[in-house]
Chains A and B, each alone.
Chain A
Amino acid sequence: MQIKINGKNIESLLDETILDVAIRNGIFIPHLCNDSDLSPEGNCRMCICEVNGKLISTCNTKVAPNMIVKTDTQKVMQLRKMNIELLLSRHKTNHNGRYNQLIELKEEHNIDTVRFSKKSRGIELNEQNYHRMDFKKKEKTHLDNEKKTNTKDDSSPSILRDNSKCILCGKCVNKCQITQDVNAICYTGRGVDLKVGTFFNQPLAQTDCVNCGQCVLVCPSGALREVDDIEKVKNAIQNPKKYVIAQTAPAIRASIGEEFGLPAGTLVTKKLVTALKKIGFDKVFDTDFGADLTIVAEASEFISRATNKGVVPMCTSCCPAWVKYIEQSYPQFIPNLSSCKSPHQMVGAIAKTYYAKKLHIDPKNIVVVSIMPCTAKKFECLRPEMNTYGFRDVDFVLTTRETARFMKSKRIDLVQMQETEYDNPLGESSGAGVIFGATGGVMEAAMRTAYEIVTGKGVSNLEFNQIRGLTGIKEGSIVMKGNEYNFAVAHGLANAKVLMDQIKTGKSKYHFIEAMACPGGCIGGGGQPMPTNNEIRQKRIDAIYREDRNLPLRKSHENPSIKKLYDEFLKLPNSKIAEKLLHTEYKKR
């Protein structure tokens, strides 16, 4: 149907909201609480426009034939200004240049002063008329286990909470409750006391939070942020005694360009290496190498379980948010998890043993920094199991956003960089390693190798389209030596929960399950550039598969560096040293 926006005729579909139509046509209507992954809430009221003469919110109003929409009338602008002022009155501005939509709106609407005092509780609720008796009295809120003065929660190694910046758009709560069904955070209280909090206001680290960071990814005002480890990495680099190694996750090469103005889905692999070297890393390895290493180990593990009546379905273990989710919500299925460490942990372990030996460096002077799209990896690298011979496999994790900030702080423009190859021996990778970044990639990579191990031949079609893409739960099957093996791929924990509940009720038909906590897989991780929505996820995913297609090697077990690693060091997949460095344990939480 046709509607009119600001005088122009615009085509729209039956079930679209006015806001969606506007966004699709590049017409700007400010919005803070709208998220394309969730149903519209109508909380922030920023999207109010004049529709057929009435002032209504456009995020939750569907289009109708001959609708007349005006987005910039004087009255609308007046409402927006007042709205922004009220939001700013409770929001402690941060000045560190981070992504903050509220500040952007403030500047766009030329708001210099906020006419409401910044003090948050100068008022005696319910005692308005008691003021004559004693003006200074303050009534406690009915939630008195709240610490009124302390608005920050820095208990988590991955996510920092600061309610003084929260504008109560509700996106984080919806992500955690609906998309992830983890329910670590929730609303508490009501009215002006409404806050985003936790069960009995426990610190985040004590809740069921799995550190996936989907909440951080949607926060428009900086109330939820990734824990910033840039300073620690800087110190390591500046320390002449330390040999600092960076490794990059598959997802980074397809996303970090967005932080420098490049369109989503631009591959910047070799520029990324140069930029990291410029920051001062001594070596830049590729986590994709670790992904190949993981596949070689995990494919064998899968085959062994599938053929020897081991515990099935086997579940991937490279997503630390997923692992924590199993440990706390489905501990009975811990035996289903693959015993393999995640790729970057494997690279770290190998770097501090195999590579340390090659360089004749004391491993205690090696610092491994993983550049990840992921906030949960900050939690993962601190797990006591992720230690080898007394050294942490990975010392620090920097998200994509932190890495971009780090580069910018040194005026390094990624776009202008020359191209450099990854360092060896831990820099060579196959396409199977790259596709780890997309949902379905781990499964596809595993099948490419498993098939060949079992049948002795390469699989006819390397690209498993049935498990690619953004559908929440995807499935496929493969026939090897006369036996059919079913596999499933889920992304977003609410979807993964469906698969686990199937196992619980005995209705699961799968032998192998890949689960990623983040919608889209790692390219949609909590540490990725903002915004992240389905359109952008798809572009990043397309880039990942493009890189796979353009690589000479597309199967993990063909990686010569992996072969060399086994020949020189690990010897056999089930050797004692392989067991120690590449495998891990889990515990009930």
Chain B
Amino acid sequence: MVISQDIKKIVKTYDKANLINILNQIQEKEGYLSEENIEYISEKLEISEAKIYEMASFYSSFKFKKKGMHTICVCNSPSCYINGSLNVLTTIEKITGLKPGEYNDIFDFKITQCIGCCNQAPAMLIDNVAYTKLDERKIMELLEKIKTSGMKSKNILKDEIQNKKAFKILKNTNFKSLKKAKAMSPEEVIQKVKESGLTGRGGAGFPAGLKWEFVNKTGKEGTLICNFDEGEPGTFKDKFIAVNNSQTLIEGIAIASYTLKCRHAYIYIRKEYDYLKTMLQKTITSSEKHLDGLKIQIIEGAGAYICGDETSIMNSIEGHSGRPRHKPPFPAQCGLWQKPTAINNVETLANVALLFEDKWDNNLRLFCISGDVNNGGVFEEKIGITFKELIQKAQPKEKVKALFFGAAGGCISYEDKLQFDHKQLQEKGAGLGSCTIIVVGEKQSIVDICHNIASFFVHESCGKCTPCREGTYRVCQLLEKIINKKGTKHDLLLIEELCDFIKTASFCPLGQSSCNHLIGALKYFRKEFEELCK
């Protein structure tokens, strides 16, 4: 079989960091990755074909045989589930005759995990473009359009543009902060960032200045990776920043790179935000004159929540599966290709540029609220705000029963006067995380929501360690048993035992936090579980 010229051209662009980009591009062209194409890549790049297949088969979006002309990925994560993803699925089944997981000559119909459109739920991706606020009529129109005329990606970014004046995070600093930073030494910039108190916005909350100091102290050339793999269900703030203020993000990346003596930075963007790539690349290109030779390369993921983990992101860029690494050694000493590396979240890096301005407050955060609400979205509020005040802004549809903090952040029973504050949340068994709130109303079944989240983790577990790979699967199986009224009190105890085991024994934070939601749910809503048991 002859390899097409297009494929050959794509493979020629290989530069050790972009194997995943090359595979993405080939799939874009041909619809899937064929044996022959992978053999060709293997030969040209001198990487064993088995290793390429191992890496490609790790990610959800890669296909290995032709499946229809158009890929439909319906989001089924908590916020979309609460807002009717089941109806979307049945509608599509009615129209296409396909069940999720099946394909025909035209469509490949899949269920996917959170695509970051939670405040406009229910949502789906068709050919990597997001379509939101779906109802039966809209779906029918969309699928008709595809069948008859193919579809050009509409300008969905329109829906995302916000009133910039309302948000401090959207202030465009026009590279003034970068100028200020470059007038200081890298060590002085690090000191300023440390003093500002900027903590990571990706969920772990590690002080950003300290992270860079570790890299800077090695004395070697560092690497910066901007983590744009926003995959936590219910989270869409990084997308919000990228759409509305990408220039400040690029500026933040430039400042960070300056302190790390980094000449080549990476933005790792998740596959589900593919439609933002062009806009982002435009911003990078138009910012070149300010960057002073700094190269910023966009690496696109291929469907793996675990790649939001800082060690997984490095493995992914190196051309491997996104399995996490053991720490120590820490990325600051031994990171991307063993070089000193700092991985920072999009919001963190945008804030880096903003903290050079007056009146910057580390306690001002972007809260993502979705679920049983009429006005979900991004809210810029201070830590310490009461839940009542915060949730009211999102206009809950009914009485609020519970709050789930993403999939990994645990859950609590809703209390008006509870404040969104690290200590108070910890006491309740949850965490601040990346300030993601999924509002669950009274009429929802907590057991259903937990089952939904449990299946999320089954899908996203990388499979490396026994507790997460086997345990999350068994937890999901047991929950299913209980939902179908075939479970007993013993099964509930077994779930609790499993949760404790998975939390304690898993290799990485994904596994360790995969049962937080259940631990919280069993603490506050045990009765709902027990009622379903025999």
* A and B associate: yes
Establish whether residues A42 and B462, one from each chain, have CB atoms under 8 Å apart when the complex forms. Answer: no
Contact with B along A45-63 (1 / 0, CB 8 A): 1001000000101001010
Give chain B residues whose Cβ lies under 8 Å from the Cβ of A199.
Answer: 35, 38, 49-50, 53
Q: Which of B156-164, B418-426, B465-473 makes up part of the contact surface?
A: B465-473
Establish whether residues A55 and B504, one from each chain, have CB atoms under 8 Å apart when the complex forms. Answer: yes
How many A-B pairs have beta carbons closer than 8 Å: the answer is 185
Q: Which of B16-24, B267-275, B383-391, B453-461 makes up part of the contact surface?
A: B453-461
Q: Does B216 belong to the interface (CB within 8 Å)?
A: no
* Complex-state Cα separation, A194 to B101, whole angstroms: 18
Known A43-B507, A183-B50, A189-B57; contact A130-B89, beta-carbon cutoff 8 A: yes
Cβ distance A193 to chain B, nearest Cβ, rounded Å: 7
Give chain A residues whose Cβ lies under 8 Å from the Cβ of B58.
Answer: 187, 189-190
Establish whether residues B48 and A183, one from each chain, have CB atoms under 8 Å apart when the complex forms. Answer: yes
Residues of B33-54 whose CB lies within 8 A of A: 35, 38, 48-51, 53-54
Q: Does A309 belong to the interface (CB within 8 Å)?
A: no
Known A79-B501, A126-B101; contact A186-B54, beta-carbon cutoff 8 A: yes
Q: Which of B198-206, B353-361, B474-482 makes up part of the contact surface?
A: B474-482
Q: Does B489 belong to the interface (CB within 8 Å)?
A: no
Q: Does B100 belong to the interface (CB within 8 Å)?
A: yes
Residues of B50-94 whose CB lies within 8 A of A: 50-51, 53-54, 57-60, 62-65, 76, 81, 85-86, 89-90
Q: Which chain A residue lies CB-closest to B93?
A: A133
Known A129-B452, A131-B484; contact A192-B100, beta-carbon cutoff 8 A: no
Cβ distance A120 to chain B, nearest Cβ, rounded Å: 9
Give chain B residues whose Cβ lies under 8 Å from the Cβ of A453.
Answer: none
Give chain B residues whose Cβ lies under 8 Å from the Cβ of A132.
Answer: 86
Q: Does A198 belong to the interface (CB within 8 Å)?
A: yes
* Complex-state Cα separation, A207 to B35, whole angstroms: 13
Establish whether residues A192 and B101, one from each chain, have CB atoms under 8 Å apart when the complex forms. Answer: no
Q: Does A470 belong to the interface (CB within 8 Å)?
A: no
Q: Which chain B residue lies CB-closest to A170?
A: B464
| Tally of chain A residues near chain B (CB < 8 A) | 63
Q: Does B339 belong to the interface (CB within 8 Å)?
A: no
Give chain A residues whose Cβ lies under 8 Å from the Cβ of B498.
Answer: 82
Q: Does A86 belong to the interface (CB within 8 Å)?
A: yes
Selected from A126, A183, A208, the residue in CB contact (under 8 A) with B76 is: A126
Selected from A42, A116, A208, the residue in CB contact (under 8 A) with B465 is: A42
Establish whether residues A44 and B466, one from each chain, have CB atoms under 8 Å apart when the complex forms. Answer: yes
Selected from B64, B466, B504, the residue in CB contact (under 8 A) with A87 is: B466
Give chain B residues whose Cβ lies under 8 Å from the Cβ of A350.
Answer: none
Establish whether residues A192 and B454, one from each chain, have CB atoms under 8 Å apart when the complex forms. Answer: no
Residues of B488-534 whose CB lies within 8 A of A: 494, 497-498, 501, 504-507
Establish whether residues A45 and B467, one from each chain, have CB atoms under 8 Å apart when the complex forms. Answer: yes
Establish whether residues A130 and B86, one from each chain, have CB atoms under 8 Å apart when the complex forms. Answer: yes
Q: Does A387 belong to the interface (CB within 8 Å)?
A: no
Selected from A122, A129, A192, the residue in CB contact (under 8 A) with B458 is: A192
Cβ distance A241 to chain B, nearest Cβ, rounded Å: 45
Q: Does B344 belong to the interface (CB within 8 Å)?
A: no
Give chain B residues whose Cβ lies under 8 Å from the Cβ of A83.
Answer: 466-467, 501, 505
Residues of A163-189 whose CB lies within 8 A of B: 167-168, 170, 177, 183-189
Q: Does B111 belong to the interface (CB within 8 Å)?
A: yes
Selected from A78, A125, A170, the residue in CB contact (under 8 A) with B459 is: A125
* Complex-state Cα separation, A173 to B415, whole angstroms: 51
Establish whether residues A177 and B470, one from each chain, have CB atoms under 8 Å apart when the complex forms. Answer: no
Give chain A residues whose Cβ lies under 8 Å from the Cβ of B53.
Answer: 186, 188, 199-200
Establish whether residues A128 and B454, one from each chain, have CB atoms under 8 Å apart when the complex forms. Answer: yes
Known A125-B455, A129-B76; contact A45-B64, beta-carbon cutoff 8 A: no
Q: Does B448 belong to the interface (CB within 8 Å)?
A: yes
* Complex-state Cα separation, A229 to B507, whole angstroms: 40
The 4 closest A-B pairs by CB, nearest first: A194-B463, A139-B101, A183-B48, A186-B54
Q: Which chain A residue lies CB-closest to B506?
A: A45
Establish whether residues B467 and A189, one from each chain, have CB atoms under 8 Å apart when the complex forms. Answer: no
Selected from A115, A127, A137, A193, the residue in CB contact (under 8 A) with B494 is: A115
Selected from A117, A183, A191, A200, the residue in CB contact (under 8 A) with B469 is: A191
* Complex-state Cα separation, A117 to B477, whole angstroms: 10
Establish whether residues B451 and A128, one from each chain, have CB atoms under 8 Å apart when the complex forms. Answer: yes
Known A42-B326, A126-B111, A126-B455; contact A168-B50, beta-carbon cutoff 8 A: no
* Complex-state Cα separation, A40 to B448, whole angstroms: 39
Establish whether residues B501 and A43, one from each chain, have CB atoms under 8 Å apart when the complex forms. Answer: no
* Complex-state Cα separation, A40 to B328, whole angstroms: 13
Q: Does B333 belong to the interface (CB within 8 Å)?
A: no
Contact with B along A74-96 (1 / 0, CB 8 A): 00001100110011011000000
Known A123-B473, A199-B50; contact A190-B505, beta-carbon cutoff 8 A: no
Give chain A residues whose Cβ lies under 8 Å from the Cβ of B466.
Answer: 43-45, 83, 86-87, 167-168
Q: Does A107 belong to the interface (CB within 8 Å)?
A: no
* Complex-state Cα separation, A145 to B452, whole angstroms: 28
Cβ distance A165 to chain B, nearest Cβ, rounded Å: 15
Give chain A residues whose Cβ lies under 8 Å from the Cβ of B474.
Answer: 86, 89, 116
Establish whether residues A45 and B465, one from each chain, have CB atoms under 8 Å apart when the complex forms. Answer: yes
Establish whether residues A128 and B89, one from each chain, have CB atoms under 8 Å apart when the complex forms. Answer: no
Cβ distance B186 to chain A, nearest Cβ, rounded Å: 31
Q: Does B483 belong to the interface (CB within 8 Å)?
A: yes
Q: Does B401 belong to the interface (CB within 8 Å)?
A: no
